[in-house]
Amino acid sequence: MTTAKPTLKLHNTKTRKREEFVPIDPQNVRMYVCGPTVYDRAHIGNARPVIVFDVLNRLLRHVYGESNVTYVRNFTDIDDKINARAARDGKDISEITAQTTQWFLDDMAAVGAIEPDHMPRATAYVPQMIAMIEDLIAKGHAYAAEGHALFAVDSYKDYGALSGRSTDDMIAGARVEIAPYKRNPMDFVLWKPSDADTPGWDSPWGRGRPGWHIECSAMAHELLGTHFDIHGGGNDLMFPHHENEIAQSCCAGDDFANVWLHNEMLQVEGKKMSKSLGNFFTARDLLDKGVPGEVIRFVMLSTHYRKPMDWTEKKAQEASRSLKKWRDLTADIEAAPSIPAVVLTTLCDDLNTAGVLTLLHEFASNGDLASLKASAQLLGLLTEELGGWTERGGALLDGWTERLTVAREKAMETKDFVEVDRIKLLLTDAGVKVQMGKEGIVLAAGPEVDLAKLEALK
RNA sequence: GGCGAGUUGGCGGAGUGGUUACGCAGCGGAUUGCAAAUCCGUGUACAGGAGUUCGAUUCUCCUACUCGCCUCCA
């Protein structure tokens, strides 16, 4: 059963086209994804790129081989938001970043994301950043001024190509920070000075800290080389972050990334979620509320990554039901040894995860459970790690099952079902699914089960 | 103002130049102490206009609307 490698097609932001993916080196497929700034819990929107690129990572490994893919996702642990948080809480910066980093890893593991091969932290790459800035200055693409180092946008004629804008357009927008030391208002900071209370590193331009964009250029260079395959992130990063990364890296002499992938933003119940509006919630909030990580993952994958996705309670409930059903069906089934071709073809078509979910529904109704399990696991669903939630409340329900069974047996003889119905109503109100069949009674915790309420009724 | 994405049946959401998406909900039936679950059956869709074509929801252009980015944000 040797099948040709499926053709992977990806929508490249750089060319605005869906292109066939041709790795630079099939033995070493390299992907860099912009990771979080670690100053607080990851909100639910942060989980989207993590899950999307986790699926891509799994797919690349499936296609090119487990050991032939290198996936890098950074942690930004130098940032003024972190500094502000540390000052606010009276904590050391490293304490904030260490804790937040761990939170992030925990929360993302809960939604089934495999850890990347490298998770570099900006603080560990400051010398590389300084070296890169020095190189840019030497090549005439950057300049030092008043303790800053700035990138000279005019020195890179393709500046704006990724996001499709010209410097003139952007200046017209008048949203750039005007500073006396800038030659061009669009010039962005590579290095900025730190005062005594702010973390800083010694540099040729004095004690200071790097600007945001340079870290990704420096870390990608260090870990993936001058030329790699895929660079990903949320589409809000397209400008200025990725535009600036390209400018820096290309001017430093790197070829940088071939394919740029950007996921669309997430909304909540039809509204934009943003920090400034304050209507966001974290992945942990959902998990604590009892929404299983697997359900979060399913919902995320049910919309194509390049479309805006709306997080709704209803979707979470539907996802929960589908997953529960599939888990019941495949509980004792061994996953098929190979992934059905149609699944690979669909997933390889610019990561059509929603299309694959459709196929999973079909496998379920056709009874092709081995394919269902194998295919779901390629998406990181129905895995061992994410299981367990379907049995939630099992022990607590055993007593009720017993009690209801006795009452029902009695009622079957007396034909008086009042007590049975009473118990059933109690359970139903607490979010328990009650199934009474010929073979007996089965109780199951529904998605919105209220265990506390159930405990109180005991 | 500039850039970009999108507009599919009650809801969610794929896909296709000519044929059933799929899921949920709904409706009818089987089953059930009643329900649930399960099984079987069942439906009105492709924003508007023009064009290309034998034929367009699918390609091209225009219009309308929605959303995102341009400022920390995935």
Please check whether residue A177 is in contact with residue A192, taking contact to mean a CB–CB distance below 8 angstroms. Answer: no
Letter for the amino acid at A218? A
Q: Are A336 and A396 part of one and the same domain?
A: no
Which has more pLDDT, A77 or A269?
A77
Which candidate, A219, A13, A220, A24, places its Cα nearest to that of A125?
A: A219
Å between CA of A286 and C1' of B51: 50
Structure tokens at A260: 């740029």
Please check whether residue A399 is in contact with residue A427, taking contact to mean a CB–CB distance below 8 angstroms. Answer: no
Q: Can you give the residue range of the structural domain that contains A383? A: 311-389
Task: Write out which nucleotides of chain B lie closer than 7 A to a protein Cβ.
Answer: 1-6, 11-15, 21-24, 32-40, 67-74
Check residue A235 and give its pLDDT.
Answer: 86
* Cα-based distances in Å from A213 to A190, A240, A241, A413: 7, 9, 6, 75
Residue A345 in any domain: the answer is yes
Q: Are A131 and A193 part of one and the same domain?
A: yes
Q: Are A16 and A54 part of one and the same domain?
A: yes
- CATH number of the domain to which A198 belongs: 3.40.50.620
Which stretch, A49-53, A276-280, A287-291, has highest mean pLDDT?
A49-53
Residue A291 in any domain: the answer is no
Q: Are A141 and A25 part of one and the same domain?
A: yes
Would you call A20 helix, strand, or coil by DSSP?
Answer: strand
Q: Are A342 and A239 part of one and the same domain?
A: no
Q: Mean pLDDT throughout A122-147?
A: 94
Q: Does the nearest atom of strand B lie within 7 Å of A306's Cβ?
A: yes
Please check whether residue A212 is in contact with residue A243, taking contact to mean a CB–CB distance below 8 angstroms. Answer: no
- Please name the nucleotide lying closest to A212, CA to C1': B72
Letter for the amino acid at A55? V
Residue A255 in any domain: the answer is yes
Is residue A251 a known part of a binding site?
no
Residue A284 in any domain: the answer is no
Closest residue to B14 (CA to C1') is A355
Residues 12-71 of A with CB under 7 A from strand B: 16, 34-37, 43, 45-46, 48-49
- ipTM, interface predicted TM-score of the complex: 0.88
The alpha carbon of residue A327 and the mean position of all alpha carbons in its chain are separated, in whole angstroms, by 23
Q: Are A377 and A413 part of one and the same domain?
A: no
Report the DSSP beta bridge partners of residue A445.
Answer: A432
| Domain C-terminal end among A389, A414, A443 | A389
| Domain C-terminal end among A332, A360, A389 | A389
Is the pLDDT score of A212 beyond 90? no
pTM for the full predicted model: 0.91
Is residue A34 a known part of a binding site?
yes
- Please name the nucleotide lying closest to A241, CA to C1': B73
- Which helix (H) or strand (E) segment holds residue A151: the answer is strand A148-151
Q: Are A258 and A368 part of one and the same domain?
A: no
Q: Are A109 and A214 part of one and the same domain?
A: yes
Q: Does the nearest atom of strand B lie within 7 Å of A355's Cβ?
A: yes
Residue A430 in any domain: the answer is yes
Q: Does the nearest atom of strand B lie within 7 Å of A185's Cβ?
A: no
Cα Rg of chain A (Å, integer): 26
Q: Are A99 and A165 part of one and the same domain?
A: yes
Rounded Cα distance between A8 and A18, Å, is 10
Number of C-beta neighbours around residue A193 at 10 A: 16
Q: Are A262 and A379 part of one and the same domain?
A: no
Q: Mean pLDDT throughout A394-400?
A: 74
A282-291, A351-360, A375-384, A447-456: the lowest-pLDDT one: A447-456
Check residue A172 and give its pLDDT.
Answer: 54
Query: Tell me: the pLDDT tens digits for A30-42?
Result: 999 999 999 888 8
Is the pLDDT score of A256 beyond 60? yes
A176-185, A294-303, A401-410, A419-428: the lowest-pLDDT one: A176-185
Rounded Cα distance between A301 and A291, Å, is 16
Check residue A57 and give its pLDDT.
Answer: 95
Place of tokens 């056709």: A366
| Number of domains within chain A | 3
Residue A378 in any domain: the answer is yes
Place of tokens 């997430």: A266
Q: Are A79 and A195 part of one and the same domain?
A: yes
In chain A, the percentage of residues whose pLDDT exceeds 70 is 92
Q: Are A188 and A224 part of one and the same domain?
A: yes
Is residue A250 a known part of a binding site?
no
Å between CA of A238 and C1' of B69: 8
Q: Does the nearest atom of strand B lie within 7 Å of A235's Cβ?
A: yes
Which candidate, A309, A229, A213, places its Cα nearest to that of A14?
A: A229
| Residue A209 CB-density burial (10 A; 0-12 exposed, 13-18 middle, 19+ buried) | buried
Model confidence band, residue A435 (pLDDT cutoffs 50, 70, 90): confident
- CATH number of the domain to which A358 belongs: 1.20.120
| Domain C-terminal end among A232, A249, A266 | A266
Geometric angle at alpha carbon A145, from A142 and A147, rounded to 5° = 110
DSSP H helical segments within A367-458, as ranges?
369-378, 394-414, 418-429, 451-457
Residue A294 in any domain: the answer is no
Residue A63 in any domain: the answer is yes
Model confidence band, residue A176 (pLDDT cutoffs 50, 70, 90): low
Å between CA of A174 and C1' of B49: 37
Place of tokens 């265990």: A451
Which has more pLDDT, A179 or A418?
A418
Å between CA of A239 and C1' of B44: 43
Check residue A329 and give its pLDDT.
Answer: 86
| Average pLDDT of the residues of chain A | 87
